[in-house]
Amino acid sequence: MVKSALVVEGGAMRGIFASGVLDTFMKKEFMPYDFAIGVSAGASNLIGYLSYAPQRSFDVITKLATHKRFFNPTRFARGGDLVDVKWLIEESNRRHPLISERLFSSIPMYAAVTNIDSGNADYYQVKESNLNNVLEATTALPIAYKSTPCFSGGCYTDGGVADSIPVKEAYRRGARDITVILSHPLSYEMKPARSPWLMTKLLARYPQIAQAMLVRAENYNQSLEFIRNPPEGTTIRVIAPPEDFAVKRLTMKSTALIEGYKMGESSGLNHLSSRDGTFGLNTENCHFCV
């Protein structure tokens, strides 16, 4: 039997799109996957999905991630965190308690983190014993979050630094039917860092992370190429925001976020319709469409 996987990209506030997609999946009780891999906000979205908590991710993004306790430019200017990741996780769990029995009896979930010593991605299976540690690590934006999460003998930063779209990791783990939820429209390609010298300076304490940031665009675009041209015998289905998706990494405007969420809901429905054959699409002609 062909193994299937769900991969969810991060992108900070752009994660609102995936939250809409996954809420639609929950409404339709759609979870045909053998395992899931998330990165940063994508991992947080998967937690809501796998624990069957509709609207959880929507509330976390629109109410908590827009709160000044989480996002605070003044605090950052004074030498503190631009984003307080630990507070966001703890407050999310306080306001929206997770049902552990449901979450951890679901399909296995992995989260990508970036190892500060190697600059490479590590992939942790999310378990009850490491949930908060892994979530903090995968969402620990370099520079914006001053803390360096350490656990299981390593120290980490945001998984998106080394592997923003872990589709190759899903393939490496045996998946040959992979669904990817992106946080950019299909036309997007990442451009190289504009000021490499500044990145190197800001991350002088972590030279391997600085190097990973400098090749991040290349790695990202290679993942897109893998999606567009999957290996023989592999089907990759993509759910991506429409071209007019207006949410940026740090968008805080509620109207834009709600519109992005609705786009996710719509794209989720379109994806389910395509899998049902409603649009006349199938695995032969739908490698890179919803």
Torsional sign, CA 239, 240, 241, 242? negative
Residues 6+ positions from 56 with CB-CB distance below 8 Å: 47, 48, 92, 96
Identity of residue 287: H
SS3 category, 190? coil
Residues 23, 81, 158, 177: which is the catalytic one? 158
Identify the burial level of 266 via C-beta atoms within 10 angstroms of its C-beta, where 0-12 means exposed, 13-18 middle and 19 or more buried.
middle
SS3 category, 213? helix
Please indicate whether residue 158 is annotated as part of the active site: yes
Q: Please give the Cα distance from 175 to 178 (Å, whole number).
A: 6
78 is written with which tokens?
């004074």
Strand partners, 157: 114
Strand partners, 6: 36, 179
Q: Please give the Cα distance from 166 to 266 (Å, whole number).
A: 24
Please indicate whether residue 177 is annotated as part of the active site: no
Residues 4, 40, 57, 267: which is the catalytic one? 40
Q: Please give the Cα distance from 255 to 252 (Å, whole number).
A: 9
28 is written with which tokens?
């339709």
Question: What is the crossing angle of helices 15-27 and 254-276, to 10°?
Answer: 50
User: Are residues 121 and 127 in contact, defined by beta-carbon separation less than 8 angstroms?
Assistant: no
User: Are residues 42 and 264 in contact, defined by beta-carbon separation less than 8 angstroms?
Assistant: no
Residues marked as catalytic: 40, 158
